[in-house]
Structure 1
């Protein structure tokens, strides 16, 4: 037990996204997203050759999902809306009434159970019609996103008071337009990647200003953006490694925070200069990073009421001569010119990219506090995966959650303005190019069962106790198998007592 307590108004929740859980990919008038199309044209890009056609089947099982939320005792639920379920052709010329009805039912059911909706507008599922017109490489998508946001405000803004515009522009652009591993599968590192991020940030600002100008006065909600960030550390006293840390922060943290949350706005100067210098060496007449105009700098600056922070891990970073020629030219990795790895002393090194290092979470939260005026922060994703897990006893995940929540508590007590925390994820789901191999869920999902049975893991029960008690008790232990059996026994016992009381009252 840490001795520290979460405030009574601190909000606990869990997070999911539409394509990863909903299924019903072409049901009730839903249009084709770029993920729907990609699964039919490039299925080999998914490790286990799976897809999100059915996923957790939450389109039909959303009431069971809400039962799970009630079991956990969460205050808020972060989910995303599928753009093409609302606007099948992408544009606002036709609004799908069945899509509106589905999200109305979900939102109303949440509120009826005392759970606040925390809605993400865009979690990587661009309409395929727009993908074919240039996707996030064209500024037209900024306008289309603004039209989509306006529809969401009109239809759901009377009940939704927290909106996340964009989820993880860095990851989305890196995998979709940098590596080309996600749809639309465009390999354009160092050029398309930067253009994608630029347009996503502008799309976020467009949605913010539409709300600010036309809806805030009547709806009274808040608009934010969810940014993914890893924390860099160094294991040396070398000047080049200290420089590597600063450059890593410029490319992976301040690149996204500074345009929106700083007083001066714009990209970090360090970031601008490194790309300009690299572009010049490579023979480009101008920097591969298209600059914001003065008007765009002003438009972006201050365009968020809160920061959504997605954080999973940290990295040890370094720079030395061994990195020369290690990266594709041009690319954002070559522009950054930093190496990274997980420290062998950190738990879960075998997890490839996800290393447990809670001090990095604390360091990141304090950086945000001290550098950007202590904005309102919601940790919109945090969690860890297991691989091909069959047991409900997930002690590694329990340890991870306790340690990261403890680091968050330390940051809270040191003045960080964190208002809420969302565990990723409510249940096992489609993890993009990793399919169903990686399992992040507090609840296990049986994909072999047509009913997609959901079962609470130990981590769910431990998180439930944190929410109930508002403390982190390292001595608290629970067995999910005993809970399941005990729960059913208690229900039978209660029914027996009820029947006996009726008999004694009216018969005996």
Structure 2
């Protein structure tokens, strides 16, 4: 055992993240119906234990208490999302909502007054349902409405926000809405998904163009869920399968949002199978080229492991990325059995090195990383505190590889955990808990877990002691 104090760079961002839909609750400000509220009305049986997003963590009423809990758990930064539906309760368009503006300004002022930098994200899966009705991200009208929303936020909150982000995990709604049936409106149509993906990238670029007009000292970027892709073997067929999977799931958004161009091999593949978006112009491509990320958030949870297909596809079935590879279950892998994800700490180092070597070492930070566990009440002590040593170990093991990435020259400025207080998780509700702070669903009482106490020490010391002989 070789114990060493792992110290992170000065002014490192210690914090966590959540989203408006998952934490705020409805409140009294007025709010347009989102796609999640619409879907819940139509198919409540698809939501775990029938729990909707109506109350969640009730942050809209408890934000002052929550900001104090941020301080008590070592936060010097925190990522929120601004609800498009709350800001524009008239179906996502029209005039901005003064009550929503007042709420967010109060929240942001409270955070700043307590030394917590605001990372403001503009879109976290919460499309106003009325805009989905006219095509969602397949519609140029929706792109324009999003840019109007973004510009309003820049104007109203720009004096308070530390850094801005256009989207969280923009790949998620494309996969869920058009390929994998976990996001409203639950279509299976790759070509329509490609159009929605293109307009998402265009909306990102147009929002950055609007942001530049203000001359703020803050930066703007995006937050992507990225998994290093590993082939089963070095057999050429496995290697090609991994390359294609990586194009679909990693480079499809990373390249245009950071480099301003789409991967040539992915474009060629989509042309070959007649899956290219049909509505795009040279002006659109120029907009994307000239308005790229100034900062990048990296969400890392698990690696992606693939192999060459062993079975034939059904050519009459819908076109899907799975036509070109199969997922590989690596023997001996460690799992978070509750979430069904592999635990592979070294992947966070591999991801950061990819950004360093292939994306100009853009300023970046880990914007999500965390461990969801079911039935955490099992680990509650006599005083009622959740003793989540498994989460502490998970954080330490990932941070050790992040420390190594920084030592290897990666331009990493911070680490944000998912999440702060146990929050509502889309169709899974509260099945798994991720928070540094436990939430009693009946009383809304918050109680700091052991991991929350550890996180405070981590932030205060800007590091922790670790057996570096475990790093490979």
**1:315 and 1:343 in contact (8 A); partners too:** no
Match of 2:300 among 311, 318, 332: 311
Within the alignment, does 1:99 sit opposite 2:112 as a pair?
no
**2:85 and 2:92 in contact (8 A); partners too:** no
Match of 2:403 among 409, 417, 424: 409
Higher-Rg member (1/2) = 1
Question: In 2 relative to 1, CA 105–344 (structure 1 residues): closer, same or farther, beyond 3 Å?
Answer: farther
**1:306 and 1:377 in contact (8 A); partners too:** yes
**How many angstroms apart in 2 are the aligned matches of 1:326 and 1:395?**
46
Within the alignment, does 1:257 sit opposite 2:254 as a pair?
yes
**How many angstroms apart in 1 are the aligned matches of 2:65 and 2:42?**
32
Question: In 2 relative to 1, CA 328–50 (structure 1 residues): closer, same or farther, beyond 3 Å?
Answer: farther
Match of 2:390 among 382, 393, 396: 396
Question: Hey, what does 1:232 align to over in structure 2?
Answer: 229
Question: In 2 relative to 1, CA 50–326 (structure 1 residues): closer, same or farther, beyond 3 Å?
Answer: farther
> Unaligned 5+ residue runs, structure 1?
280-285, 476-508
Question: Hey, what does 2:423 align to over in structure 1?
Answer: 429
Q: If the length of structure 2 is used for normalisation, what is the TM-score?
A: 0.92
**How many angstroms apart in 2 are the aligned matches of 1:109 and 1:383?**
26
Question: In 2 relative to 1, CA 44–96 (structure 1 residues): closer, same or farther, beyond 3 Å?
Answer: same
**How many angstroms apart in 2 are the aligned matches of 1:132 and 1:223?**
29
Question: Hey, what does 2:341 align to over in structure 1?
Answer: 354
Per the TM alignment, residue 215 of structure 1 is displaced from its structure 2 partner at its CA by: 0.8
CA shift digits 1:447-493 (9 cap, x unpaired): 122xx111112222222221111223248xxxxxxxxxxxxxxxxxx
**What SS class does the counterpart of residue 4 from structure 1 fall into?**
strand
**1:10 and 1:420 in contact (8 A); partners too:** yes
Within the alignment, does 1:381 sit opposite 2:375 as a pair?
no
> Unaligned 5+ residue runs, structure 2?
380-385, 468-472
CA shift digits 1:297-344 (9 cap, x unpaired): 33113421111111111122111322x227983333235x22224434
Question: Hey, what does 1:140 align to over in structure 2?
Answer: 141
Question: In 2 relative to 1, CA 304–237 (structure 1 residues): closer, same or farther, beyond 3 Å?
Answer: closer
**What SS class does the counterpart of residue 30 from structure 2 fall into?**
coil
**How many angstroms apart in 1 are the aligned matches of 2:249 and 2:314?**
19
Question: Hey, what does 2:309 align to over in structure 1?
Answer: 320
CA RMSD in angstroms comes to 1.9
Size of the aligned set, in residue pairs, is 457
Within the alignment, does 1:70 sit opposite 2:64 as a pair?
no
**1:406 and 1:472 in contact (8 A); partners too:** no
User: Which is further off, 111-120 or 342-351?
Assistant: 342-351
**What SS class does the counterpart of residue 7 from structure 2 fall into?**
coil
Per the TM alignment, residue 237 of structure 1 is displaced from its structure 2 partner at its CA by: 2.7
Question: Hey, what does 1:19 align to over in structure 2?
Answer: 21
**What SS class does the counterpart of residue 330 from structure 2 fall into?**
coil
**How many angstroms apart in 1 are the aligned matches of 2:69 and 2:410?**
30
Matches within 5 A, 1:295-306: 295-301=283-289, 302-306=291-295
